[in-house]
């Protein structure tokens, strides 16, 4: 006797499982006659052969083909008696046979235990029986019966069921014969965490160091499916894009949910020069050292570069010298299309906003209602997305005919205030002429023109959502609640109000999967989400970090990068991303260069004399301050000095010495640019040591503090400001967001990356300033409030001679030149 | 003795070959110590193991790994004597051994024959010897020597060399032992055309016919690599994107260059209703019938849909009912990113134009010159793209210091006239508010604002180039010569003048490869280039058609689709696309529906009475005219009547009867929507029969005719106009294009698709009208002149209730709903 509640619970969880499981590829084929069991709900899991009764020749033909198909591990013949001819029974290879021919179609299972016999306990059949008849599951093996020929395939399907039932923690009765145990164990082991078997690629660095693209091209990457296998990914968790990139499915998180996370390392930097100080190269050099030299599993999590800067001034972002992601041109161009998907989704929202304003301005309530809820074949019904809007408006109705004229008015009119639209179009190109434009000037738009702008694509709120979401469902929810503007009545209007949120999720469904690539030394890298930590939060994605932390195993390392100086990227990493993910970092690596430290001390191009060395003020100001910021969060700091060939030994020694005086656990010079992972071994040891130190991680502010206090906490404790000063606009916005219930969101400051203060020219560690908050905006979907500090351009421009002058393609070899 | 010229010629062709060959993946690994032979030039073809002398344990480790790698067919040990230990020699599996250890580094080969012994005649080594030492090639097998253990691998590498040398028609001396012949033959056969071994997927159509997405989802596509194998593609010709899409490499055209083409069928239509008459479904139904039912190899070549209409009114474009490309959601969304690449490339040009205008307006010649040709590490040099511009300006100089001030002025100033810029930004979204906009209104753009617009992305000239290019080199040349505007002095300014053409080729390098997918019945489909035959040429790509024609084999069929009515899509197919490709179609299939024919007869919603049937004027007008248009080009016409369930048998019979009276070879009703390929068997037979008929293919006009006469020929003979009337603008433009040397380009009319005339409301076959040519533009890169007939919007809008209201994603199953 099994209690009723247990049965109910089992039914529920099995239904959930069946849904989730739909994404898993087939490991077992079911041949079945569709007039007995329609196969609709089984798609993606089965190869179904739909034949009429007595058409055994068709079954035989299919069986013979499946016999030879290496992707099909077993066949479960589930046929009506009339099709069960000897021709059919003898066609199947013994190794592929999963015993069948049992029928329980007539048995009522209400409240009973289903005894699923032998090998035909395929998950699908078991579940369908259960779900259709509210039964319980008991599984046994009777592969000694005359119809069962193969141990392995039989066990495989049983184990499949057992394993999934085990995951569900559902009651299951097992009657397994001893000789099944071996196969069971093996199958279960395959689904367990696999230790890495990484074959690193040797590097032979040359002197002088060739160009980035030459180095990248000289190294042949491992096929990405080989890399995936080496790090324990299952084939069904991989979606290969070409030879050297693959998306990784999120189902991995379910499979390895009980696997402890590895160690989590954040790479941040001091306040950079406009050229950057090499955080990406340190990140890559560090994982090359950890994986390829110290033989500690490690993963780098990087952000996909924007194509704007790639063709503008910056060039690529795949690292540089002998610390790169390869092939660097694939990393820098298109990748697996995530930013393109974000652009498409973002601009669909923008088009929907303007079209809706136009349509509302030219149509009566009735006309709008008739179009929004049309009669299709005589039936009028709300789409699910419209039902959601009705609920938000407080209406419980589902029959379109039942709405009162007032309710129709409320439903059809978003009544967007054109002057309070906060959504912008984006493009992944440095197109300065789109910084301020007027749209809607064609006569067809009937005078609804307004001033708008384009942002660079990576600044889209959808990018922030991609980075912070912890799964498809969470992403979809966040996309739906994005606020695109305010109605004339002062109410926020969301993407779901526009009816577009389902389409956004559809456009983004592949983008949510991180892209697997590799370093020059053949160690794994995830590329996901985007840069621009000044105007966005600029961290790689929560999902990439989580997948990587499972994959590296308990003693492994995940090295993730935060944009720009520790005051911006790292502060957002802790206060926004770690809050969203629930993850806690073990070590912060703070990247510094002698060049930038000299700039903070007065000028970048000076060679310091011995006497000046003692007063190396960039160290005592900016470096010290950035170390202090990291320590505010209670995490050990290792300073990595990215060595340039112009640096003297005395300079390097002094930076390391001062860094340790200022509170760094350790400080080491890094030679990854010239030497690859070998040049980062010292850093790898330092990070490994620091990761074992005690860790008192804490957030900088409590979310329940008032918004103003949270902003002030960042300004004072991180930037070193005396106080903040809110413009009247900013004050009004804060009041509005409080009123809308957004007061407990974290803060994402939009501030220049070129100074700890809001003044790009103020180097070192400025003090005695008041931080001006010009305006405050909200990314409700991403889940943060972003104050604008001073003026920040959200669209870079092209210089007089953009990078593209040197970029070329050899049409014969297909080799690219000029990327760096 | 070998004559000097032969040696020179061989050297040249070998170098060319070596370059082309760089794109081919390794089939043979060379383990070699890099201090003896640096492997730089061999990348992509070799796996190089870089080890120091005496590090034999590292070699052994690598050898043991490669022994088990199924992707490596043979190993050629090319080691210095000190590394040739017995451990190394015994590590290699006999089946993988390709004999090595011979050195000819000290031998001067000037003018001599190189005897490449045994299995070490890998192409790379052979070529390198040749190229470095001007030698000739002789190849022999001596695998009977003690070091050679395996026939197959040795032969493989020899055959590789022989085959490539054979392709080059270079002199080669062969000394092949008899027992090599078998392996040789097998290897060569693999590279030859392979007959198909297509396993079609059975369909079980249901009644009533479910929604498109339900039908698509109920069918599990074959893995795309399996499909590729079935149709004779080699693994190295495939770039898989996920499980059901793959890009196909153009190297296939080289491999099968001697294979005769299959038969070439164009699907066109009568003048459609706004909903379309089902050309895509007929195309897919026809190939399903040909391949899966008549067992005749066939390929459908379709265009990638624009995401604008997908989320607007049209929904998807993957066909419908039981004639679809699957998975339809992947076909309709992102695909393999080609349109995204076009958007990125197009908008990079736009950003470059505006930024250049701004920079020229604010800088002196000297400042511009210093920035455009900067001194890098003390050296100033022109980039190749700048040298090209200098050549076009008539300057032969290469030293930046040697230009006179006048020459500098000419070089640095494109002097674009803002009022004569013909390049527009694009977006793949139906965004009507971008139909007319003003850009450059931010203060940073210093008053350089101007009125511009966005087109839908598929209308970009870059899309036309993608469709018409016959290879990477041709595409690159076309991209470079695209004219983006006119200087104040009246000179055309090209993409290459902007310095951006190399970057465009880089952005488009993957887009040029067609995407392989499959129909519901598992038959192959290429998806490439884009729609919109009214404002663009709207045909699928020349390259997809060419690849498909090779793959189907001599008796197979390639069915390609031209957009809208035969007056637009088909006319452009013949006069533009067939001219570019050199291909000649064997049959035109003209798709008609009773619904549209009724519209042409007066009204779409009437049920015809018996008496009216005799006067079915839509047949006698539009259908007759469209048949006549097709016959103008001398190609047999088969009319396919796409059957709707509301059609009566009498209506269908009459349409078929009249079609035959009007000159169609045959006319048959098609039931593919409800029945899949089985419903198109009659059409397939009709097409097969028509393809054997005589074919007098001819172009409509000679390219050497004046532009006006070519336009008039189309207006009179295709549209039925009395004459054309050119606006003053149009006249001036024609004069200008003649003066610029573009007078011999073909014509791409931009005309409404809703009527044979320029007036969308005129149905049937209008006569007695004068076709107004409002303006004339030129796509110099794509290679056509496009006259604008009346007003044509190049940016669709969203309706009040766009499709996206119904589109949703189940976050658990990842299933999409609401696409149709």
pLDDT digits (tens, 9 = 90+) for B244-268: 999 999 999 988 988 999 999 999 9
B750: enclosing H helix or E strand = none
Residue A25: the pLDDT is 28
Q: Would you tell me how many other CB atoms lie within 10 Å of the CB of residue B88?
A: 18
Residue A694: the pLDDT is 84
Whether the Cβ atoms of residue A170 and residue A134 lie closer than 8 Å to each other:
no
Percent over 90 (pLDDT), chain A: 59
A200: enclosing H helix or E strand = none
Residue B86: the pLDDT is 67
Residue A612: the pLDDT is 65
Residue A114 has φ and ψ, to the nearest 5°, of -95, 125
Rounded Cα–Cα distance for residues A543 and A472 (Å): 10
Chain B contact present for A254, CB below 8 A: no
CA B304 to chain centre: 11
Chain A contact present for B611, CB below 8 A: no
The listed range with the strongest mean pLDDT (A16-25, B1-10, B763-772) is: B763-772
In chain B, the residue whose alpha carbon lies closest to the alpha carbon of A18 is B813
Rounded Cα–Cα distance for residues B167 and B162 (Å): 9
Residue A241: the pLDDT is 94
CB contact under 8 A, A355 and B433: yes
Q: Would you tell me how many other CB atoms lie within 10 Å of the CB of residue A77?
A: 23
In chain B, the residue whose alpha carbon lies closest to the alpha carbon of A805 is B499
Chain B contact present for A470, CB below 8 A: no
Rounded Cα–Cα distance for residues B86 and B89 (Å): 5
Please determine, for the modelled complex, whether the ipTM score is greater than 0.90: no
Whether the Cβ atoms of residue B492 and residue B417 lie closer than 8 Å to each other:
no
Work out whether strand A557-565 and strand A298-302 pair parallel, antiparallel, or are unpaired.
Answer: parallel
B98-116 pLDDT per residue, tens = 443 233 333 333 333 333 3
Record the tokens describing residue B224, joined without a space: 């795309």
Residue B50: the pLDDT is 26
- pLDDT tier at B219 (50, 70, 90 boundaries)? confident
Chain B contact present for A646, CB below 8 A: no
Percent over 90 (pLDDT), chain B: 58
Residue A68: the pLDDT is 74
Residue B334 Rama label (left phi>0; alpha psi -120 to 50; beta)? left
Q: Is the pLDDT of residue B169 over 60?
A: no
Cα dihedral A146, A147, A152, A158, rounded to 10, equals -110
Q: Is the pLDDT of residue A624 over 80?
A: yes
CB contact under 8 A, B811 and A472: yes
Distance from CA of A182 to the nearest CA of B (A): 26
Rounded Cα–Cα distance for residues B119 and B76 (Å): 8
Q: Is the pLDDT of residue B771 over 90?
A: yes
Determine whether B198 is exposed, middle or buried from the number of CB atoms within 10 Å of its CB (0-12, 13-18, 19+). Answer: buried
Range with lowest mean pLDDT among A46-55, A73-82, A176-185, B805-814: A46-55
Residue B659: the pLDDT is 94
Check whether the bond before B208 is cis (ω within 30° of 0).
yes
CB contact under 8 A, B311 and A430: no
B397-442 pLDDT per residue, tens = 999 999 999 999 999 999 999 999 999 999 999 999 999 999 999 9
- pLDDT tier at B561 (50, 70, 90 boundaries)? very high
- For chains A and B, count residue pairs whose Cβ atoms are closer than 8 Å: 330
Chain A contact present for B240, CB below 8 A: yes
Q: Which of B508, B515, B580, B534 is nearest to B346 (CA)?
A: B508
Residue A111: the pLDDT is 32
Q: Which of A65, A19, A58, A64 is nearest to A42 (CA)?
A: A19
pLDDT higher at B76 or B378 = B378
Chain B contact present for A399, CB below 8 A: no
Determine whether B597 is exposed, middle or buried from the number of CB atoms within 10 Å of its CB (0-12, 13-18, 19+). Answer: buried
CB contact under 8 A, A433 and B445: yes
Residue B121: the pLDDT is 35
Rounded Cα–Cα distance for residues B237 and A108 (Å): 55
Whether the Cβ atoms of residue A432 and residue B358 lie closer than 8 Å to each other:
yes
Q: Which of B266, B345, B230, B245 is nearest to B570 (CA)?
A: B266
Residue B560: the pLDDT is 97
Chain B contact present for A472, CB below 8 A: yes
Q: Is the pLDDT of residue B3 over 70?
A: no
Arithmetic mean of pLDDT over chain A: 81
Average pLDDT over residues B105-129: 36
Residue B618: the pLDDT is 77
Q: Is the pLDDT of residue B117 over 50?
A: no
Residue B487 has φ and ψ, to the nearest 5°, of -75, 165
Q: Which of B672, B775, B670, B766 is nearest to B718 (CA)?
A: B766
Rounded Cα–Cα distance for residues B579 and B191 (Å): 30
CA A311 to chain centre: 25
Rounded Cα–Cα distance for residues B586 and B552 (Å): 15
Determine whether A47 is exposed, middle or buried from the number of CB atoms within 10 Å of its CB (0-12, 13-18, 19+). Answer: buried
Rounded Cα–Cα distance for residues A598 and A604 (Å): 5
Q: Is the pLDDT of residue B33 over 90?
A: no
Q: Is the pLDDT of residue A784 over 80?
A: yes
CB contact under 8 A, A809 and B65: no
Q: Is the pLDDT of residue B27 over 80?
A: no
- pLDDT tier at B471 (50, 70, 90 boundaries)? very high
Percent over 70 (pLDDT), chain A: 76
Q: Which domains does chain B have, with CATH numbers?
A: 4-108+171-191 (3.40.50.10860), 113-162 (no CATH), 212-336+510-692 (3.40.50.300), 339-508 (3.30.1510.10), 707-788 (3.10.410.10)
A307-358 pLDDT per residue, tens = 998 898 766 778 899 999 999 989 999 999 999 999 999 999 999 999 999 9
- Whole-prediction pTM value? 0.82
Residue tagged 């770690």 (tokens): A578
CB contact under 8 A, B351 and A16: no
Average pLDDT over residues B716-745: 95
Closest partner CB to A445 (pick from B432, B813, B814): B432
Rounded Cα–Cα distance for residues A620 and A474 (Å): 44
**First-last CA distance in chain B:** 70
Q: Is the pLDDT of residue A196 over 70?
A: yes
Q: How many DSSP H helices and E strands does chain B contain?
A: 31, 32
Residue B610: the pLDDT is 56
- pLDDT tier at B156 (50, 70, 90 boundaries)? very low
Range with lowest mean pLDDT among A454-468, B175-189, B282-296: B175-189
Whether the Cβ atoms of residue A637 and residue A586 lie closer than 8 Å to each other:
no
Residue A806: the pLDDT is 87
Q: Can you name the residues that pair with A515 across neighbouring β-strands? A: A247, A527
Q: CA distances (Å), A461 to each of A417, A497, A564, B91, in order?
A: 20, 17, 19, 56
Range with lowest mean pLDDT among A154-158, A280-284, A289-293: A154-158
In chain B, the residue whose alpha carbon lies closest to the alpha carbon of A442 is B436
Q: Can you name the residues that pair with A299 across neighbouring β-strands? A: A558
Residue A484 has φ and ψ, to the nearest 5°, of -105, -15
Determine whether A387 is exposed, middle or buried from the number of CB atoms within 10 Å of its CB (0-12, 13-18, 19+). Answer: middle
Rounded Cα–Cα distance for residues A324 and A322 (Å): 6
Q: Is the pLDDT of residue A732 over 90?
A: yes
B667-708 pLDDT per residue, tens = 999 999 999 999 999 999 999 999 998 888 999 999 999 999
What are the residue numbers of the active site of A?
A: 279, 281, 303, 314, 533, 564, 644, 673
Whether the Cβ atoms of residue B706 and residue B744 lie closer than 8 Å to each other:
no
Q: Is the pLDDT of residue A40 over 80?
A: no
Work out whether strand B515-519 and strand B245-248 pair parallel, antiparallel, or are unpaired.
Answer: antiparallel
- pLDDT tier at B204 (50, 70, 90 boundaries)? confident
Rounded Cα–Cα distance for residues A490 and A736 (Å): 9
CB contact under 8 A, B812 and A16: yes
Record the tokens describing residue B147, joined without a space: 């070091």
Q: Can you name the residues that pair with B492 across neighbouring β-strands? A: B486
Q: Is the pLDDT of residue A179 over 70?
A: no
A554-585 pLDDT per residue, tens = 999 999 999 889 999 999 999 999 999 999 99
Rounded Cα–Cα distance for residues B300 and B265 (Å): 9
- pLDDT tier at B62 (50, 70, 90 boundaries)? low
3-state secondary structure of B331: helix
Chain B contact present for A366, CB below 8 A: no
CB hemisphere CA count around A258 (13 angstroms): 5
Residue A794: the pLDDT is 87
Is there a catalytic annotation at residue B644? yes
Q: Is the pLDDT of residue A721 over 60?
A: yes
Chain A residues with CB-CB distance to B241 below 8 A:
240-242
Arithmetic mean of pLDDT over chain B: 81
- pLDDT tier at B44 (50, 70, 90 boundaries)? very low
- pLDDT tier at B96 (50, 70, 90 boundaries)? low
Residue B84 has φ and ψ, to the nearest 5°, of -85, 65
């Amino acid at each position: 006797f099994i209690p009723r509640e247990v049965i109910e619970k089992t039914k529920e969880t099995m239904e959930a499982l069946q849904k989730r499981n739909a994404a898993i590829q087939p490991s077992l084929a079911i041949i079945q006659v569709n007039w007995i069991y329609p196969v609709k709900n089984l798609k993606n899991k089965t190869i179904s052969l739909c034949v009429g009764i007595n058409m055994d020749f068709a079954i035989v033909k299919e069986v013979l083909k499946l016999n030879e198909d290496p992707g099909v591990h077993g066949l479960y013949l589930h046929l009506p008696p009339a099709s069960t001819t000897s021709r059919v029974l003898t066609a199947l290879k013994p190794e592929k046979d999963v015993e069948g021919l049992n029928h329980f179609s007539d048995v009522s299972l209400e409240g009973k235990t289903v005894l699923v016999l032998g090998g035909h306990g395929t998950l699908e059949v078991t579940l369908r029986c259960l779900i259709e008849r509210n039964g319980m599951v008991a599984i046994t093996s009777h592969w000694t019966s005359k119809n069962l020929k193969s141990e392995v395939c039989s066990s495989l399907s049983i184990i499949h069921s057992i394993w999934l039932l085990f995951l569900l923690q559902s009651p299951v009765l097992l009657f397994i014969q001893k000789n099944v145990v071996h196969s069971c164990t093996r199958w279960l082991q395959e689904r367990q965490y696999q230790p890495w078997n990484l074959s690193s690629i040797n590097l032979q660095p040359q002197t002088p160091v060739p160009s980035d693209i030459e180095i990248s091209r000289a190294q042949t990457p491992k096929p990405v499916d080989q890399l995936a296998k080496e790090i324990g990914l299952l084939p069904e968790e991989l979606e290969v894009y070409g030879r050297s990139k693959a998306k990784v499915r999120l189902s991995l998180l379910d499979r390895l949910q009980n696997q402890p996370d590895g160690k989590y390392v954040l790479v941040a930097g001091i306040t950079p020069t406009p050229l950057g100080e090499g955080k990406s190269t340190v990140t890559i050099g560090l994982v090359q050292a950890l994986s390829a030299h110290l033989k500690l599993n490690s993963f780098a999590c990087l952000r996909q570069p924007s194509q704007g800067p790639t063709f503008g001034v910056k060039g690529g972002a795949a690292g540089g010298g002998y610390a790169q992601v390869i092939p660097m041109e694939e990393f820098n161009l298109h990748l697996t299309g995530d930013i393109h998907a974000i652009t498409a989704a973002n601009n669909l929202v923008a088009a929907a906003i303007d079209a809706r304003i136009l349509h509302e301005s030219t149509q009566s309530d009735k006309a709008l209602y008739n179009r929004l809820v049309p009669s299709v074949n005589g039936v009028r019904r709300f789409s699910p997305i419209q039902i959601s809007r009705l609920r938000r408006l407080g209406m419980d109705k589902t029959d379109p005919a039942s709405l009162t004229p007032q309710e129709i008015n409320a439903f059809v009119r978003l009544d967007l205030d054109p002057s309070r639209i906060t959504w912008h179009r984006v493009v992944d190109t440095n197109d300065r002429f789109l910084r301020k434009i007027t749209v809607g000037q064609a006569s067809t738009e009937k005078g609804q023109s307004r001033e708008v702008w384009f942002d660079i694509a990576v600044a889209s709120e959808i990018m922030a959502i991609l980075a912070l979401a912890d799964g498809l469902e969470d992403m979809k929810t966040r996309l739906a609640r994005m606020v695109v503007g305010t109605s004339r009545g002062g109410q926020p209007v969301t993407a779901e109000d526009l009816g577009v949120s389902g389409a956004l999720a559809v456009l983004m469904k592949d983008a949510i999967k991180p892209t697997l690539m590799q370093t020059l030394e053949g160690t794994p890298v995830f590329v996901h989400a985007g840069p621009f930590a000044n105007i966005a939060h600029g961290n790689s994605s929560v999902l990439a970090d989580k997948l990587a932390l499972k994959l590296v195993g308990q003693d492994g390392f995940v090295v993730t990068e935060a944009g720009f100086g520790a005051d911006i990227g790292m502060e957002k990493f802790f206060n926004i991303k770690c809050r969203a993910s629930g993850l806690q970092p073990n070590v912060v690596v703070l990247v510094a260069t002698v060049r930038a430290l000299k700039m903070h001390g007065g000028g970048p191009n000076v060679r310091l004399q011995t006497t000046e060395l003692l007063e190396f003020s960039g160290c005592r100001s900016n470096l010290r301050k950035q170390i202090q910021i990291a320590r505010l969060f209670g995490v050990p700091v290792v300073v990595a000095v990215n060595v340039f060939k112009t640096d003297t030994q005395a300079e390097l020694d002094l930076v390391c010495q001062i860094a340790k005086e200022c509170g760094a656990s350790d400080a080491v010079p890094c030679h990854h640019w010239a030497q690859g992972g070998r040049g980062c071994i010292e850093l790898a040891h330092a990070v490994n040591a620091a990761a074992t130190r005690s860790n008192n991680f804490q957030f900088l502010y409590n979310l329940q503090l008032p918004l103003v206090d949270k902003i002030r906490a960042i300004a004072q404790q991180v930037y070193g400001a005396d106080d903040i000063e809110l413009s009247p606009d900013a004050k009004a916005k804060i009041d509005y967001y409080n009123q809308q219930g957004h007061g407990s969101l974290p803060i994402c400051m939009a501030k220049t990356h070129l100074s700890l203060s809001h003044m790009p020219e103020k180097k070192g560690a400025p003090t005695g300033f008041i931080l001006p908050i010009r305006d405050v905006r909200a990314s409700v979907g991403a889940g943060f409030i972003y104050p604008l500090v001073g003026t920040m351009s959200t669209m870079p421009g092209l210089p007089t001679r953009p990078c593209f002058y040197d970029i070329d393609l050899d049409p014969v070899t297909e080799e690219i030149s000029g990327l760096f």
